């Protein structure tokens, strides 16, 4: 070495040892794996939330289309007509879907189908309504999505989903979601 006289021997020995050492120690590798595990545990719930939000965006877009169709029907009906009970129903009813201008499969998506949507609280003056969504698809998100009359969107999960199974007489013992709509808030 060229700097033998200027550098203390301690540093020279350490430098020689570092040159001979090739690879990582077991402790260093374990620390890297530990840090990656912590980062994964912190990020996974965030990613899962984004996946459910993407699934619900499909329902929100379709609910907006349904809401526009209801508003259109209300504006072309007789102004004295007040019984909107025929519209306040599940879109699984083929006649309601036809009345609103939809075909049998025009509202079907990747995680929601036509029967997953329910219309309620139709206002005969301005045509506003509430559209509620519940996925029956095995890979669909859990809970209930609600597009309110004012256009706000909310998703209720957990307690609502459990109450759904408890109140639904057609749900099976294995916890399937059943098909009765009378439990909607």
Residue appearing with tokens 């990747």: 110
Question: Is 185 inside a domain boundary?
Answer: no
| Per-residue confidence (pLDDT) for residue 30, from 0 to 100 | 94
| Structural contact between residues 67 and 129, judged by C-beta atoms closer than 8 angstroms | yes
Question: Is 175 inside a domain boundary?
Answer: no
| Per-residue confidence (pLDDT) for residue 138, from 0 to 100 | 87
| Per-residue confidence (pLDDT) for residue 78, from 0 to 100 | 73
Q: Please, which residues have CB within 8 angstroms of residue 145's CB and are 6 or more apart in sequence?
A: 56, 59, 60, 63, 132, 133, 134, 153, 154, 155, 156
| Per-residue confidence (pLDDT) for residue 173, from 0 to 100 | 35
| Per-residue confidence (pLDDT) for residue 31, from 0 to 100 | 94
Question: Is 37 inside a domain boundary?
Answer: yes
Number of domains in the chain: 1
Written as six digits, the tokens of 37 are: 């595990």
Question: Is 58 inside a domain boundary?
Answer: yes
159: containing domain: 23-167
Question: Is 81 inside a domain boundary?
Answer: yes
Hey, what's the torsion of the CAs at 51, 110, 176, 46, to 10 degrees?
Answer: 0
| Per-residue confidence (pLDDT) for residue 4, from 0 to 100 | 55
Q: Which residue ranges in the chain fall short of pLDDT 70?
A: 1-7, 79, 158-185
Question: Is 10 inside a domain boundary?
Answer: no
Question: Is 181 inside a domain boundary?
Answer: no
Question: Is 76 inside a domain boundary?
Answer: yes
This prediction has a pTM of 0.63
């Amino acid at each position: 070495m060229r700097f033998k006289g200027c550098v203390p021997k301690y540093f020279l020995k350490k430098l020689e040892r570092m040159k001979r050492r090739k690879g990582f120690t077991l402790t260093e590798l374990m620390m890297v794996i530990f840090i990656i595990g912590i980062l994964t545990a912190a990020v996974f719930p965030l990613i899962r939330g984004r996946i459910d939000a993407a699934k619900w965006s499909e329902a929100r877009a379709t609910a907006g289309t349904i809401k526009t169709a209801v508003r259109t029907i209300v504006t072309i009906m007789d102004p004295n007509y007040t019984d909107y009970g025929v519209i306040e129903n599940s879109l699984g009813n083929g006649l309601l879907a036809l009345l609103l201008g939809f075909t049998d499969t025009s509202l079907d998506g990747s995680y929601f189908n036509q029967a997953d949507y329910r219309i309620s609280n139709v206002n005969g003056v301005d045509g506003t309504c509430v559209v509620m969504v519940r996925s029956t698809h095995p890979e669909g998100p859990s809970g209930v999505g609600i597009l309110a009359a004012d256009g706000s969107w909310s998703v209720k999960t957990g307690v609502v989903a459990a109450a759904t199974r408890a109140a639904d007489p057609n749900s099976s013992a294995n916890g399937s979601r059943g098909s009765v709509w009378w439990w909607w808030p």
